[in-house]
Amino acid sequence: MIECRLINNRIRPVVVCDECRQIITDIRMGMVIYDKEKVYIYHKRSCDPATKTGSFPDIQLGWSELSHFLERLWHNTQIDIPEEERVTHEAAKKAIDFLQEV
Ligand SMILES: [Zn+2]
């Protein structure tokens, strides 16, 4: 799920695993399972319901890499950030490093 957490006296939006409740700090390790009404976000492998039970929940319609899901969400909300304001790879890495230190 997407939450806001108080980290170092600042409210920060984060993606949280629905199984272990930890912040997902490596986009490559996130996955999404969804049905018509709800989205479930997990760490791949360690928290993935298919890994734990051998199958996805019956209600699921599909799954996606977290990165692909967020890209589609970005596209479907028509966010258009000017090039000069986009988060650079270096800025994203610093943000991730910061979250991993917390
Ligand atoms: Zn997890």
Question: How far, in Å, from the CA of 16 to the mean position of ligand 1?
Answer: 8
Residues near 20 by beta carbon (within 8 Å), at least 6 away in sequence: 43, 46, 47
Question: How far, in Å, from the CA of 56 to the mean position of ligand 1?
Answer: 15
pLDDT band at residue 101, thresholds of 50, 70 and 90? low
Phi, psi values for residue 57, rounded to 5°: -55, 150
Question: How far, in Å, from the CA of 80 to the mean position of ligand 1?
Answer: 31
Q: Give pLDDT tens digits for 33-87.
A: 988 888 999 999 899 887 766 665 565 678 899 999 998 888 888 877 677 766 6
The pLDDT of residue 86: 66
Hey, which residues does 15 pair with through a beta bridge? 2
Q: How far are the Cα atoms of 33, 35, 50 from residue 59, in angstroms, in the given order? A: 10, 6, 13
Is the overall model pTM greater than 0.85, yes or no? no
The pLDDT of residue 22: 96
Number of structural domains found in the chain: 1
Q: Which domain range does residue 25 map to?
A: 2-101
The pLDDT of residue 9: 93
Question: How far, in Å, from the CA of 39 to the mean position of ligand 1?
Answer: 15
Phi, psi values for residue 47, rounded to 5°: -120, 0
